[in-house]
Structures are given as structure tokens and as C-alpha cells.
């Protein structure tokens, strides 16, 4: 019996050692892997505003200033601002081509949550003084649609 008891004790000790070695190996293991996610397709858009003085007459030029709103949660960049002139429907004979607005190169960062942020570069709007009567432009509402 003594021998059988010693064998059980020795086997038990070996089993404990084997489990301890296995636990040690678990804690010292290494691994590798990857993770990925798709970025947003867009991070929002800016709302641009143009402002110029009322009262344009043929041959007159007025300064145009721009501001930007960024309601998004990340910064956005304004590049070159272009303007398209339109005239209200009640003055259909007034030609948008008689008004010119040069592009404005901004390249300005607009922080998230920014509202009415002044853009650094302004432009002008010029009302051409042509050889044709421009009476149809009297009282017209001139609108600039701006984009970047």
C-alpha cells in the first residue's frame, strides 16, 4: 500500500505541475490580427453666403463678401468660391450676363460648428454699362448662388 500511495502522490504532483505549465504557457502566448472600419463617405457640407450692397447701376462695382456655416462635427475646407448670377422672374429682360463676379480663391478651413465665419478673400460684382438700354434691370433682385 505504501508504494501505491506514493505513486498516487507522485502522479498528483505531476498533474499539478502539468496544469501549472499549461497555465504559464497561456499567459505568455502571442497573437496577431487586424481590424478595419470604413470611413464616412462625406463629412458634411458648408452653407455659403454672399453679401453685397444694394443699388447697383450700370457701370458700378460693389464689393462682395462671403461667409460660411459648418453645422457638421468635423472641419471642412472652402476652396475656390464661384458665383452664378440670377435675376428675379419679374425682371426677365434683365440679363444675368451683364453682371460679372470673379472667383475668390479661399482655401480656408471652417471649424466644426462654425456659423457665419468670414472668408478671407472677397470679390466684386460689376454691372456692365452696355450700349443697350438696361431699363429692364431697374428694381431687379440680383441673386448670387455661390459654391465651392
pLDDT score at 2? 58
pLDDT computed for residue 31 by the predictor: 77
Between the two ends of the chain, the Cα-to-Cα distance in Å is: 94
47-147: which CATH number, 2.60.40, 3.10.20, 3.30.310, 1.10.3470?
A: 2.60.40
pLDDT reported for residue 22? 55
Residue ranges per structural domain of the chain: 47-147
pLDDT score for 21 = 57
CA dihedral (59, 65, 142, 140) positive or negative:
negative
* Residue-level pLDDT at 35: 78
Write down the pLDDT at residue 44.
Answer: 82
Q: Burial-class residue 55 by CB neighbours within 10 Å (0-12, 13-18, 19+).
A: exposed
- 3-state class of 110 per DSSP? strand
What parts of the chain have a pLDDT lower than 50?
none
pTM: 0.73
The string of pLDDT tens digits covering residues 65-79 is 999 999 999 999 999
Give the model confidence (pLDDT) of 88-100 as tens digits: 999 999 999 999 9
DSSP string, 56-95: --TT-EEEEEEEEE--SSS-EEEEEEEEEEEE-GGGTTS-
User: The C-alpha cell of 68 is what?
Assistant: 460660411
Amino acid at each position: 500500500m505504501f508504494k501505491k500511495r506514493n505513486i498516487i502522490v507522485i502522479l498528483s504532483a505531476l498533474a499539478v505541475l502539468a496544469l501549472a505549465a499549461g497555465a504559464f504557457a497561456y499567459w505568455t502566448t502571442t497573437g496577431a490580427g487586424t481590424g478595419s472600419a470604413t470611413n464616412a463617405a462625406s463629412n458634411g457640407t458648408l452653407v455659403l453666403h454672399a453679401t453685397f450692397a444694394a443699388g447697383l447701376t450700370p457701370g458700378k462695382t460693389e464689393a462682395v463678401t462671403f461667409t460660411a456655416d459648418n453645422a457638421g462635427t468635423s472641419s471642412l475646407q472652402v476652396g475656390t468660391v464661384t458665383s452664378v448670377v440670377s435675376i428675379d422672374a419679374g425682371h426677365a429682360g434683365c440679363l444675368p450676363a451683364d453682371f460679372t463676379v470673379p472667383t475668390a480663391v479661399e482655401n480656408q478651413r471652417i471649424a466644426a460648428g462654425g456659423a457665419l465665419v468670414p472668408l478671407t478673400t472677397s470679390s466684386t460684382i460689376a454691372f456692365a454699362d452696355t450700349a443697350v438700354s438696361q431699363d429692364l434691370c431697374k428694381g431687379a433682385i440680383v441673386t448670387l448662388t455661390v459654391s465651392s
